[in-house]
Amino acid sequence: MSAKRQNTVAEKLRMKANDLTAAERKLMAALFADYPVAGLASITEFAKLANVSTPSVLRLAKKLGFSGFPALQEALRGELSAQLQNPIAKHERWAAEAPDAHILNRFADAATDNLRASLRLMDHRVFDEVARLLGARRRAIHIMGGRITGAIAHYLYTHLHMARPNVHLVPEAQALWPQYLMNLSKGDVLLAFDVRRYDARMLDFAVSAQAEGAEIVLITDQWMSPVARIASLSLPVRIEVPSSWDSNMVPLFVAEALVAAVVNHNWPDTQSRIHRLETFNETLRRGKS
């Protein structure tokens, strides 16, 4: 990445604090009293606030190495914007937008907490390995989910199915499972979503799939689905939110990130697929109208 971030205006000021003149000190005090907002007004207002003249402001700006007052302001705005991105400030600002107790804020807090904790819990190398498996063209991919995670499985299926051939969605109806097991080949990948209220039947399916030679990949919650015992790769995530049911935002996050990783990994091929997809889209649309 880039080199160490440039000093902030505040740091520059402190550094030069010793050879500042009286008027410049007044300006520094005024700025620090309401940093950095005081410096975002016009040069005239800022000067008045510190009880100095406008040229003094200008001289200070130049002493700090800026080409002029607007350049200093731009630096201040830049810092501010970066500062406001940080998670704690973020929370404060959310709270300002709506009462803290509002469900949107509580939910958003929980969701981002989950995401952060999940990223810590997750091993990048496992993720990369899963992405590699999902990107391997010679392996067929079979995706399955439970009652709740079925929608996430479907979402992943829709995208992966666009990104590469040979992707299958195992339906939720158990009556259909035998024929899906039959179509499994050695080396295929079974990607299962299983979060709490673990489905015993899913374990059965996974065991059978493994017996057929499939690699089992699991996306589960922190308490670990029983499928984890037989899975070659497991990605545990956090799913608790203030609700009667768990949140599947992080499982969805993993699904989306996996798709992005798979697509990146084999970009030229995917690109041509997307292009062909668009062509077919148009053809079908035109044919219909």
Collect all residues with Cβ–Cβ distance below 8 Å to 244 and sequence separation of at least 6: none
Q: Read off the DSSP letter of residue 4.
A: S
Between residue 107 and residue 136, which ones bind a second copy under the rule CB under 8 A?
A: 107-108, 111-113, 115-116, 119-120, 122, 124, 127
User: Is residue 74 close enough to count as binding DNA by CB under 7 A?
Assistant: no
Of 53, 68, 92, 185, which one interacts with a second copy (CB under 8 A)?
Answer: 92
Tell me the C-alpha distance between 167 and 170, whole Å: 10
10 Å CB burial of residue 63 (0-12, 13-18, 19+) is middle
Q: In the complex with DNA, which residue's Cβ is closer, 57 or 254?
A: 57
**Of 11, 34, 45, 123, which lies in the binding site for DNA, with binding defined by CB under 7 A?**
45
Does position 87 interact with DNA (CB under 7 A)? The reply is no
Look at residues 80, 62, 59 and name the one whose alpha carbon lies nearest to residue 71.
Answer: 62
Concatenated DSSP letters for 36-48? TGGGGS-HHHHHH
Q: Which of 30, 49, 61, 122 binds DNA (CB under 7 A)?
A: 61
Minimal distance in Å, beta carbon 1 to a second copy? 7
Alpha-carbon gap, residue 221 to 145, rounded angstroms: 13
Of the pair 60, 140, the CB lying nearest DNA is at: 60
Give the one residue of 6, 243, 272, 279 binding a second copy; rule: CB under 8 A. Answer: 243
Dihedral sign for Cα atoms in the order 226, 145, 196, 136: positive
For a second copy, the binding residue among 17, 103, 176, 211 (CB under 8 A) is: 103
State the minimum distance, in angstroms, from the CB of residue 236 to DNA.
17
Burial track 22-46 (b if 16+ CB lie within 10 A, e otherwise): ebbebbbebbeeebbebbeeebeeb
Number of residues that bind a second copy (CB under 8 A): 77
What residues numbered 187-226 form the site for a second copy, per CB under 8 A? none
Q: Is 219 exposed, middle or buried (0-12, 13-18, 19+ CB in 10 A)?
A: buried
Q: Does 263 bind a second copy (CB under 8 A)?
A: yes
Binding of DNA by 54 (CB under 7 A): yes
Reading the block at residue 142, the tokens are 């079979």
Report the nearest approach of a second copy to the CB of residue 177 (Å): 14
Other C-beta atoms lying within 10 Å of the C-beta of residue 77: 13
Among the listed residues 200, 217, 186, 100, the one whose alpha carbon sits nearest the alpha carbon of residue 146 = 200
Decide if residue 200 touches DNA (CB under 7 A): no
Given the complex with a second copy, which of 22 and 96 has the nearer CB atom?
Answer: 96
Within 131-190, which residues bind a second copy (CB under 8 A)?
Answer: 147-148, 150-152, 154-155, 158-159, 162-163
Does 51 contact DNA by CB under 7 A?
yes
1, 3, 22, 284: which one binds DNA (CB under 7 A): 22
Binding residue for a second copy (CB under 8 A) from 56, 220, 234, 248?
A: 248
Residues that bind DNA (CB under 7 A): 19, 21-24, 42-45, 51-56, 58-59, 61, 67-71, 73, 229
